[in-house]
Structure 1
């Protein structure tokens, strides 16, 4: 065997920077550690029913007086800090209510369901009072229509299910109608001064009711000339000037809308060949979106409608992209809808991914191929819209190093804009609620139990963005034909020394020469272009060092562009691959949008 006599030569490794995921971590804070003592097996306070009222946040949470004792369910208010979190009243003994309990503002007061009754507050302890006791069952599904609250109540013997109304007084709180306990009702939806709900009497189907808040005015609704009219599943949605739903009219299936009258309850389009589980997703602009499964072809198709038969059109056959198991409605912004699709796979576990649509086939797609949610009802509904951006709980399936840790994500509907905003150290659970530019949710940091947490959404944060381009005429303005400069470095010169140093935010321009700093707090910034040999700046006012001073106010967005002139004798650069720190190996292109 040949021996190697030469010594192994070791070269010192130069420091390097690893590619990181593009992200903007938002400020996440514990609202309060409410259940310090714990309730025997856990120290969870299980906060729920978050709502914003008079500049503060209100929620229900449980608190054990001592370890092992039955917890007390209280109504709380908070300014977002532990010291500013106080209990308003005791609602009940036991476990805090779940997902179907919420708060609604009416007449200068906030109303909440809890402790087997309806409660109200003006924001003070003295002004927090029960409105009405409702037996042994807590009211839920509070809905405001006009100047009345509507909600569902089950009686103590569990023999009937009732829909109630309230004007905020004891005398004005009473039942409108009763149904057998083997039926159910959908969450009331509001249209003007009327509320609409469906009593499910025939499996998933049921009768549509309209109420004006009086017993005589609570009536079943169906089109003129129809004998049997059953709403399909839980499809009732209010959008623009109509209530929308799928129904079977004497056996014929179709999409319907109503203005609250028999004459105004009309079929928009017949869908005779669909399965029993259509999903109304929500409305954007002038169109409402829904998904249907064609019984014959087993296709799941996304549709939209403007309320006319001609304007009811198929957007995309979703099964052309994935094998659909089921579709769940979620939320919508001003320009797009978001929804979940659970995909059928060859594995035993089906995976659920976030999808979006802007109303076109091309714009209907899976938002991210890697970010998904655990299967389960709560994950499908736990989302919130803040500042026209979607927030939801999910995880990156490629993040094996962190055991697929769940985090809060934000999404603008693009893969690049779908990023985590909470740290690995925090495990979000549910109850995501947007209130006063803040997102509230249940979470644990593994040192405390499930407590209320909050993160500030970027509505009060600013943006500095712009273009870097070749400026042959040296006028500092980009005109037609002037090329974008890709992979040039723009940075925020925190110490204003004219050099990019560790700790300063920087971005590399994309193929359009574009850069963007988002999530910036109010303050004074100096945005600067890293100089490249052989090029001079044409940018005004600081052509010497290619920089701008920006005074950023809350929510501001500034465009600042950098023009560059090629010096005589300099070869054109297609890209700049040098490291901005000039002492490490080249930084990979994936470093766009990374803060050091």
Structure 2
């Protein structure tokens, strides 16, 4: 499968407020006010759920951690893979006693890929990929119990294992891709599969020919999976509902062997937005509702700017454009119904005249039914580490675009996650030079309401990962005083008490 992207330019920038460039106008966007108010969680409500992994010799930022969180049957399910190569499927109800292993997998040789991964929940079944000595890495299914967890089908007979991707639940069926490599020619082809959770009902839906590349970008829109296919005739957008008849090419997006490639895909409500990078370095921004008639090019940006999609608020798609020559980033809004984009805000970049300092957006998060976009920005350097990293929020207006915290992570081996629970509560990680290192932080969307959640590892950094809300808890992984990555959680509240200031 092809790997696409705009190219990762590490970045960050200094404190301050920006505005539109002199030649750019700014209009005011409106949106509904969210009524879902949550309090900033505190240290008392934040604790380790259970010690799961043993101490590790890995650096904390690279240590194994509980990962691949999903909610299934009212409980949290996740993967645990240790440095020795053992893997396990775990579940948790949020208590220490209720956090237990469902199925353990022994060490398998010949692969550095985590044994258990890709957890995907359907209403009554949980699918994941795991490796054992008899089958290699294959597709497994579980009803949530140890006895009800089994290998679903040996897609590549024997111990060799299968390369699977895009595991996606569509109502009561799972769809996924299998990438098969010819060892003699090193050529590969992608196969689309579907499963109802039984061996007989796990079937190949379509075989894409050798030389056809299926993009690593894919996303669920309604009851279908959208994906991109590129071959000698060009690049096309496809959709599938898991059946042969429902697997169709929606539209040819570009033509010829040197066609454009998809660089971003963002699902927002009932629409999906994607960008195409042309051989000319132009960037096309598209929208689709999952039909051919509803797949429309919104705008083409020239080769002098990098483009990054944020999300849709109201009737506008918000995105950033960054000049390759000036190294300044601008927030833009693009009408979803069609029309030209409007510049809203110019982000400060105090390093713009100091050599390589290209800013780009990294993590983006919008709460369900949210009216604000939380996102992180990196400012690059001539080395692997960024100059600066920052957390921002926008409601789509210049006055509502605010710097919340800097820096986040300044490591080139660990990127700060951003996870919005509501318009007034988002989780992320940030760095403190003189005290706590990199620890979990929370924000209510204002600079004054942005603070550290807890100093989980006082003598080091905890490098939090994988924030995930389930009910009244937000779970995450963190490296703590056990000298290993463990499962942590914090409890959400809607009855607020003012914090005590020391």
Match of residue 149, structure 1, among 142, 167, 174: 174
Partner of 1:302: 331
Work out whether 1:50 is the aligned partner of 2:64. Answer: no
Equivalent positions of 1:452-463 (< 5 A) are 452-456=487-491, 458=492, 460-463=493-496
Equivalent positions of 1:18-167 (< 5 A) are 24-36=42-54, 46-62=65-81, 70-91=84-105, 93-94=107-108, 101-115=117-131, 116-135=137-156, 136-137=161-162, 139-155=164-180, 157=183, 159-162=187-190, 163-167=192-196
- For residues 171-228 of structure 1, give each alpha carbon's deviation from its aligned partner in whole angstroms, at most 9, with x where no partner exists: 33334344658956224212222211124679xx95422223234543443369x745
Q: Separation in 1 of the partners of 2:487 and 2:113?
A: 15
Work out whether 1:416 is the aligned partner of 2:441. Answer: no
C-alpha change, 1:422 and 1:40, in structure 2 (3 Å) is closer
1:256 Cα offset (Å): 1.4
Partner of 1:237: 266
Equivalent positions of 1:11-22 (< 5 A) are none
Equivalent positions of 1:188-199 (< 5 A) are 188-199=218-229
Report if the CA contact (8 A) 2:394-2:401 is conserved.
yes
Equivalent positions of 1:369-448 (< 5 A) are 370-376=406-412, 378-380=414-416, 382-388=417-423, 389-396=425-432, 399-400=433-434, 402=435, 405-425=437-457, 427-448=462-483
User: SS at the partner of 2:415?
Assistant: helix
Report if the CA contact (8 A) 1:340-1:355 is conserved.
yes
Higher relative contact order (CA 8 A, sep 6+): 2
1:409 Cα offset (Å): 0.5
Deviates more, 1:138-147 or 1:180-189: 180-189
Q: Separation in 2 of the partners of 1:181 and 1:444?
A: 43
C-alpha change, 1:101 and 1:418, in structure 2 (3 Å) is farther
Report if the CA contact (8 A) 2:116-2:129 is conserved.
no
- For residues 144-167 of structure 1, give each alpha carbon's deviation from its aligned partner in whole angstroms, at most 9, with x where no partner exists: 334432334333647425343333
Partner of 1:509: none
User: SS at the partner of 1:139?
Assistant: strand
Report if the CA contact (8 A) 1:259-1:265 is conserved.
yes
Match of residue 255, structure 1, among 279, 282, 285: 285
Report if the CA contact (8 A) 2:284-2:301 is conserved.
yes
Report if the CA contact (8 A) 2:85-2:107 is conserved.
yes
Report if the CA contact (8 A) 1:200-1:206 is conserved.
yes
* TM-score, scaled relative to structure 2: 0.73
Report if the CA contact (8 A) 1:301-1:317 is conserved.
yes
Partner of 1:293: 322
1:254 Cα offset (Å): 2.8
1:351 Cα offset (Å): 1.3
Report if the CA contact (8 A) 1:351-1:375 is conserved.
no
Q: Separation in 2 of the partners of 1:327 and 1:281?
A: 8
1:247 Cα offset (Å): 2.9
User: SS at the partner of 2:500?
Assistant: coil
Deviates more, 1:290-299 or 1:121-130: 290-299
Report if the CA contact (8 A) 1:150-1:188 is conserved.
no
- For residues 534-574 of structure 1, give each alpha carbon's deviation from its aligned partner in whole angstroms, at most 9, with x where no partner exists: xxxxxxxxxxxxxxxxxxxxxxxxxxxxxxxxxxxxxxxxx
**How much is the aligned-residue C-alpha RMSD, in angstroms?**
3.7
Deviates more, 1:329-338 or 1:211-220: 211-220
Deviates more, 1:189-198 or 1:159-168: 159-168
Match of residue 169, structure 1, among 186, 198, 201: 198
C-alpha change, 1:448 and 1:271, in structure 2 (3 Å) is closer
Work out whether 1:328 is the aligned partner of 2:328. Answer: no
Q: Which runs of 5+ in 1 are unaligned?
A: 1-21, 65-69, 464-516, 519-592
Q: Separation in 1 of the partners of 2:106 and 2:307?
A: 39
Report if the CA contact (8 A) 2:212-2:229 is conserved.
no
Deviates more, 1:119-128 or 1:162-171: 162-171
Q: Separation in 2 of the partners of 1:181 and 1:595?
A: 63
1:255 Cα offset (Å): 1.9
Partner of 1:499: none
Partner of 1:482: none
C-alpha change, 1:153 and 1:438, in structure 2 (3 Å) is farther
Equivalent positions of 1:163-562 (< 5 A) are 163-175=192-204, 176-178=206-208, 183=213, 185-199=215-229, 206-215=235-244, 217-222=246-251, 227=255, 232-247=261-276, 253-275=283-305, 277-294=306-323, 299-310=328-339, 312-318=341-347, 323=352, 324-333=358-367, 334-344=370-380, 349-368=386-405, 370-376=406-412, 378-380=414-416, 382-388=417-423, 389-396=425-432, 399-400=433-434, 402=435, 405-425=437-457, 427-456=462-491, 458=492, 460-463=493-496, 517-518=497-498
Report if the CA contact (8 A) 2:267-2:273 is conserved.
yes
Matched positions, count: 430
1:253 Cα offset (Å): 4.5
Deviates more, 1:83-92 or 1:73-82: 83-92
Q: Separation in 2 of the partners of 1:213 and 1:56?
A: 27
1:34 Cα offset (Å): 2.5
Q: Which structure is larger by alpha-carbon Rg, 1 or 2? A: 1
Report if the CA contact (8 A) 2:219-2:225 is conserved.
yes
Q: Which runs of 5+ in 2 are unaligned?
A: 1-39, 132-136, 353-357
Q: Separation in 2 of the partners of 1:213 and 1:415?
A: 46
Q: Separation in 2 of the partners of 1:309 and 1:88?
A: 50
Q: Separation in 2 of the partners of 1:439 and 1:431?
A: 10
